[in-house]
Structure 1
Amino acid sequence: MAIQAYHLTKKYETFSYLPQMTPEQVRRQIAYALAQGWNPAVEHAVKGTSAKESFWHMWKLPMFGEQSVDAVLAEIEACHREFPDQMVRFIAYDNYSQSQGVAFVVYR
Protein backbone atom coordinates (compact mmCIF):
# COMPACT_ATOMS: atom_id res chain seq x y z
CA MET A 1 0.00 0.00 0.00
CA ALA A 2 1.40 3.37 -1.02
CA ILE A 3 1.22 6.33 1.33
CA GLN A 4 -0.60 9.39 -0.03
CA ALA A 5 1.35 12.57 -0.52
CA TYR A 6 0.05 15.34 1.74
CA HIS A 7 -0.02 18.07 -0.90
CA LEU A 8 -2.03 16.12 -3.50
CA THR A 9 -5.34 15.94 -1.65
CA LYS A 10 -7.10 17.99 0.99
CA LYS A 11 -7.04 16.53 4.48
CA TYR A 12 -10.06 16.93 6.74
CA GLU A 13 -9.42 14.47 9.56
CA THR A 14 -7.16 11.59 10.58
CA PHE A 15 -8.78 8.95 8.34
CA SER A 16 -8.30 11.15 5.25
CA TYR A 17 -4.64 10.09 5.26
CA LEU A 18 -5.82 6.53 4.57
CA PRO A 19 -7.54 5.14 1.48
CA GLN A 20 -11.30 5.72 1.31
CA MET A 21 -13.11 3.40 3.73
CA THR A 22 -15.33 0.67 2.34
CA PRO A 23 -19.00 0.61 3.40
CA GLU A 24 -18.20 -2.29 5.75
CA GLN A 25 -15.35 -0.32 7.39
CA VAL A 26 -17.68 2.67 7.87
CA ARG A 27 -20.25 0.32 9.41
CA ARG A 28 -17.66 -1.09 11.83
CA GLN A 29 -16.50 2.38 12.90
CA ILE A 30 -20.09 3.41 13.63
CA ALA A 31 -20.73 0.13 15.49
CA TYR A 32 -17.63 0.79 17.62
CA ALA A 33 -18.81 4.31 18.49
CA LEU A 34 -22.27 3.06 19.46
CA ALA A 35 -20.75 0.25 21.55
CA GLN A 36 -18.84 2.93 23.50
CA GLY A 37 -22.14 4.63 24.32
CA TRP A 38 -21.26 7.69 22.25
CA ASN A 39 -24.01 9.79 20.65
CA PRO A 40 -23.86 9.84 16.84
CA ALA A 41 -24.39 12.89 14.66
CA VAL A 42 -24.08 13.76 10.96
CA GLU A 43 -22.68 16.97 9.49
CA HIS A 44 -22.13 18.36 5.99
CA ALA A 45 -19.90 21.06 4.49
CA VAL A 46 -19.11 22.59 1.10
CA LYS A 47 -16.30 20.83 -0.78
CA GLY A 48 -13.15 22.62 -1.79
CA THR A 49 -12.52 24.68 1.30
CA SER A 50 -9.60 24.00 3.58
CA ALA A 51 -10.16 22.34 6.94
CA LYS A 52 -9.58 25.67 8.66
CA GLU A 53 -12.11 27.49 6.48
CA SER A 54 -14.87 24.91 6.29
CA PHE A 55 -17.93 25.22 8.47
CA TRP A 56 -19.70 21.96 9.18
CA HIS A 57 -23.49 22.24 9.31
CA MET A 58 -25.31 19.81 11.55
CA TRP A 59 -27.76 17.47 9.81
CA LYS A 60 -30.63 17.36 12.30
CA LEU A 61 -29.85 16.98 16.01
CA PRO A 62 -27.43 14.41 17.42
CA MET A 63 -29.09 11.01 17.73
CA PHE A 64 -28.93 10.76 21.52
CA GLY A 65 -28.99 7.15 22.70
CA GLU A 66 -29.20 5.65 19.21
CA GLN A 67 -28.17 1.97 19.18
CA SER A 68 -28.82 1.05 15.54
CA VAL A 69 -26.00 1.23 13.02
CA ASP A 70 -28.59 1.03 10.24
CA ALA A 71 -30.44 4.09 11.59
CA VAL A 72 -27.19 6.08 11.62
CA LEU A 73 -26.29 4.94 8.11
CA ALA A 74 -29.78 5.91 6.93
CA GLU A 75 -29.25 9.47 8.23
CA ILE A 76 -25.83 9.65 6.55
CA GLU A 77 -27.41 8.55 3.26
CA ALA A 78 -30.31 10.99 3.66
CA CYS A 79 -27.87 13.85 4.23
CA HIS A 80 -25.86 12.80 1.19
CA ARG A 81 -29.01 12.68 -0.97
CA GLU A 82 -30.04 16.15 0.24
CA PHE A 83 -26.53 17.62 -0.31
CA PRO A 84 -24.93 15.45 -3.04
CA ASP A 85 -22.20 17.99 -3.84
CA GLN A 86 -21.08 18.43 -0.24
CA MET A 87 -18.90 16.44 2.13
CA VAL A 88 -20.71 14.41 4.78
CA ARG A 89 -19.10 13.28 8.01
CA PHE A 90 -20.00 11.08 10.95
CA ILE A 91 -19.30 12.26 14.50
CA ALA A 92 -19.80 10.50 17.82
CA TYR A 93 -19.87 12.55 21.02
CA ASP A 94 -18.49 11.10 24.24
CA ASN A 95 -20.66 12.27 27.16
CA TYR A 96 -18.03 11.36 29.74
CA SER A 97 -15.15 13.38 28.31
CA GLN A 98 -17.55 15.91 26.76
CA SER A 99 -15.74 15.78 23.44
CA GLN A 100 -15.84 14.04 20.10
CA GLY A 101 -14.94 10.37 20.43
CA VAL A 102 -14.57 9.96 16.69
CA ALA A 103 -15.18 11.99 13.54
CA PHE A 104 -14.53 11.05 9.92
CA VAL A 105 -15.66 12.07 6.46
CA VAL A 106 -17.88 9.44 4.84
CA TYR A 107 -18.47 11.27 1.55
CA ARG A 108 -15.63 13.44 0.25
Structure 2
Amino acid sequence: ICMLLTLVAIFGNGSITIYALIGVSFFMSIMFPTIFSLGISGLGEHTKTGSSLIVMAIVGGAILPLFLGYISDVTHSIQYGYLVPLICFAVVFLFSKKVKIPI
Protein backbone atom coordinates (compact mmCIF):
# COMPACT_ATOMS: atom_id res chain seq x y z
CA ILE A 1 0.00 0.00 0.00
CA CYS A 2 2.87 2.37 0.84
CA MET A 3 4.44 1.70 -2.55
CA LEU A 4 1.23 2.51 -4.39
CA LEU A 5 0.63 5.67 -2.38
CA THR A 6 4.22 6.77 -2.93
CA LEU A 7 3.77 6.30 -6.68
CA VAL A 8 0.68 8.51 -6.48
CA ALA A 9 2.72 11.11 -4.56
CA ILE A 10 5.47 11.01 -7.20
CA PHE A 11 3.37 11.07 -10.35
CA GLY A 12 0.12 12.65 -9.14
CA ASN A 13 -0.95 16.27 -9.30
CA GLY A 14 -2.78 18.54 -6.94
CA SER A 15 -4.24 17.67 -3.58
CA ILE A 16 -4.28 13.92 -4.28
CA THR A 17 -0.53 13.90 -3.66
CA ILE A 18 -1.04 15.38 -0.19
CA TYR A 19 -3.62 12.72 0.64
CA ALA A 20 -1.27 10.05 -0.69
CA LEU A 21 1.54 11.24 1.60
CA ILE A 22 -0.83 11.23 4.58
CA GLY A 23 -1.76 7.67 3.64
CA VAL A 24 1.91 6.70 3.40
CA SER A 25 2.50 8.02 6.91
CA PHE A 26 -0.54 6.16 8.21
CA PHE A 27 0.45 2.80 6.74
CA MET A 28 4.14 3.29 7.52
CA SER A 29 3.28 3.70 11.20
CA ILE A 30 2.58 -0.02 11.55
CA MET A 31 5.63 -1.17 9.61
CA PHE A 32 8.33 -0.88 12.29
CA PRO A 33 6.50 -2.75 15.07
CA THR A 34 5.57 -5.48 12.61
CA ILE A 35 9.08 -5.78 11.17
CA PHE A 36 10.60 -5.70 14.66
CA SER A 37 8.37 -8.41 16.12
CA LEU A 38 8.72 -10.68 13.08
CA GLY A 39 12.45 -10.01 12.93
CA ILE A 40 13.16 -11.19 16.46
CA SER A 41 10.70 -14.08 16.56
CA GLY A 42 12.38 -17.43 16.74
CA LEU A 43 15.87 -16.10 17.49
CA GLY A 44 16.02 -17.79 20.88
CA GLU A 45 19.21 -16.86 22.72
CA HIS A 46 20.12 -14.40 19.93
CA THR A 47 17.03 -12.24 20.50
CA LYS A 48 18.99 -9.44 22.21
CA THR A 49 21.52 -9.30 19.38
CA GLY A 50 18.81 -9.37 16.73
CA SER A 51 16.81 -6.62 18.38
CA SER A 52 19.97 -4.52 18.77
CA LEU A 53 20.73 -4.85 15.06
CA ILE A 54 17.20 -3.87 14.08
CA VAL A 55 17.33 -0.82 16.36
CA MET A 56 20.73 0.16 14.92
CA ALA A 57 19.23 -0.06 11.44
CA ILE A 58 17.11 2.95 12.38
CA VAL A 59 20.18 5.02 11.47
CA GLY A 60 19.01 4.56 7.88
CA GLY A 61 16.18 6.88 8.81
CA ALA A 62 18.79 9.56 9.44
CA ILE A 63 20.86 8.92 6.31
CA LEU A 64 18.27 8.28 3.61
CA PRO A 65 16.65 11.74 3.86
CA LEU A 66 19.97 13.15 2.64
CA PHE A 67 19.51 11.19 -0.59
CA LEU A 68 15.90 12.34 -0.83
CA GLY A 69 17.08 15.94 -0.47
CA TYR A 70 19.86 15.48 -3.03
CA ILE A 71 17.50 14.03 -5.63
CA SER A 72 15.01 16.82 -4.93
CA ASP A 73 17.74 19.45 -5.38
CA VAL A 74 19.05 17.94 -8.61
CA THR A 75 15.62 17.47 -10.19
CA HIS A 76 14.12 20.63 -8.64
CA SER A 77 11.14 18.53 -7.57
CA ILE A 78 10.41 17.06 -4.16
CA GLN A 79 8.17 14.54 -5.88
CA TYR A 80 11.11 12.78 -7.52
CA GLY A 81 12.87 12.72 -4.16
CA TYR A 82 10.22 10.27 -3.03
CA LEU A 83 11.86 7.67 -5.26
CA VAL A 84 14.14 7.00 -2.26
CA PRO A 85 11.35 5.79 0.07
CA LEU A 86 9.76 4.00 -2.88
CA ILE A 87 12.95 1.96 -3.30
CA CYS A 88 13.00 1.24 0.44
CA PHE A 89 9.38 0.08 0.39
CA ALA A 90 10.20 -2.14 -2.60
CA VAL A 91 13.11 -3.73 -0.71
CA VAL A 92 10.86 -4.48 2.28
CA PHE A 93 8.17 -5.87 -0.03
CA LEU A 94 10.59 -8.11 -1.94
CA PHE A 95 12.14 -9.34 1.30
CA SER A 96 8.70 -10.22 2.66
CA LYS A 97 7.97 -12.25 -0.47
CA LYS A 98 11.29 -14.09 -0.31
CA VAL A 99 11.30 -14.91 3.42
CA LYS A 100 8.21 -16.66 4.72
CA ILE A 101 7.93 -16.47 8.50
CA PRO A 102 5.25 -18.66 10.06
CA ILE A 103 3.01 -16.64 12.34
Please give the TM-score of this superposition, normalised by the length of structure 1: 0.34
| Higher fraction of helix | 2
* More strand by percentage: 1
Give the structure-2-normalised TM-score: 0.35
Structure (1 or 2) with the larger CA radius of gyration: 2
